[in-house]
């Protein structure tokens, strides 16, 4: 509870990025639990969202040919604007620690892999708050694909074709931004969780001033 008239401390935006099948959602769950146990007000979220544009994007997974690359980019950007306005900005203003499964670096890597210019994509995303930390999950493409098909029993959707994923991984590998930290996602789950916590904890306010 905030007993003073001071506004709550600004929250933190931590995004989880990387190719499909690298364990981002599992880690978000584990890290959220660990931070909540330490008293932090954590919000978990993802892109594409479950909002109106996110639902359109998910529907496209099945029939990707139905829209052009340009239209696809506009949908991801519209979804992000909605996410920023409805959830991310208000949560930051009320001191929440946001863990977000994918953000604009995914647009750079995935829509960039479709042939769009990466710098142009990043420029189109300047409206979106810059993350305090982007954790880039790195693992061999073959491992990601194996985890999606074998472990999850899912078939690769149109965004997840092996060849495309190799191009996506190459763009992620080439991104050079000050807030990116890379982790080896092929390590055991608990090791990865502890590494992520060691990246996040130094960036957080003390829990008592975080509400």
Interacting residues toward ligand TMP by CB under 6 A: 20, 47-48, 76, 102, 106-107, 110-111, 159-160
Closest CA to 15 of 174, 119, 176, 129: 129
Cα distances from 99 to residues 9, 16, 137, 194, 205, in angstroms, run 17, 7, 14, 15, 15
| Minimum CB distance to ligand TMP, residue 94 (Å) | 24
For residues 55 and 201, which CB has a smaller minimum distance to ligand TMP in the complex?
A: 55
For residues 108 and 210, which CB has a smaller minimum distance to ligand TMP in the complex?
A: 108
For residues 12 and 102, which CB has a smaller minimum distance to ligand TMP in the complex?
A: 102
| Minimum CB distance to ligand TMP, residue 102 (Å) | 4
| Minimum CB distance to ligand TMP, residue 11 (Å) | 20
Cα distances from 164 to residues 105, 115, 136, 139, 204, in angstroms, run 16, 11, 18, 15, 36
For residues 132 and 160, which CB has a smaller minimum distance to ligand TMP in the complex?
A: 160
Alpha helices in 38-175, H assignment, sequence order: 52-60, 69-83, 89-93, 104-113, 118-124, 141-146, 162-174
| Minimum CB distance to ligand TMP, residue 100 (Å) | 9
């Amino acid at each position: 509870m905030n007993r003073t008239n001071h506004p709550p401390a600004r929250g933190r935006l931590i995004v989880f990025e990387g190719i499909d099948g690298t364990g981002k959602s599992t880690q978000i769950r584990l890290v959220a639990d660990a931070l909540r146990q330490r008293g932090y007000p954590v919000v978990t979220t993802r892109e594409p969202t479950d909002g109106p544009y996110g639902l359109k994007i998910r529907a496209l997974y099945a029939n990707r040919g139905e829209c052009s690359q340009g239209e696809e980019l506009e949908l991801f950007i519209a979804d992000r604007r909605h996410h920023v306005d409805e959830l991310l900005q208000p949560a930051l203003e009320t001191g929440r620690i946001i863990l977000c499964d994918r953000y604009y670096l995914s647009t750079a890597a995935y829509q960039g892999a479709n042939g769009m210019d990466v710098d142009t994509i990043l420029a189109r995303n300047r409206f979106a708050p810059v993350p305090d930390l982007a954790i880039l999950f790195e693992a061999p493409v073959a491992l990601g694909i194996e985890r999606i098909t074998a472990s999850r029993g899912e078939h690769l959707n149109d965004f997840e074709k092996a060849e495309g994923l190799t191009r996506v991984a190459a763009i992620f590998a080439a991104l050079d931004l000050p807030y990116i930290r890379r982790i080896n996602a092929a390590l055991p789950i608990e090791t990865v969780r502890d590494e992520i916590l060691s990246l996040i904890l130094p960036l957080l306010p003390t829990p008592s001033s975080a509400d």
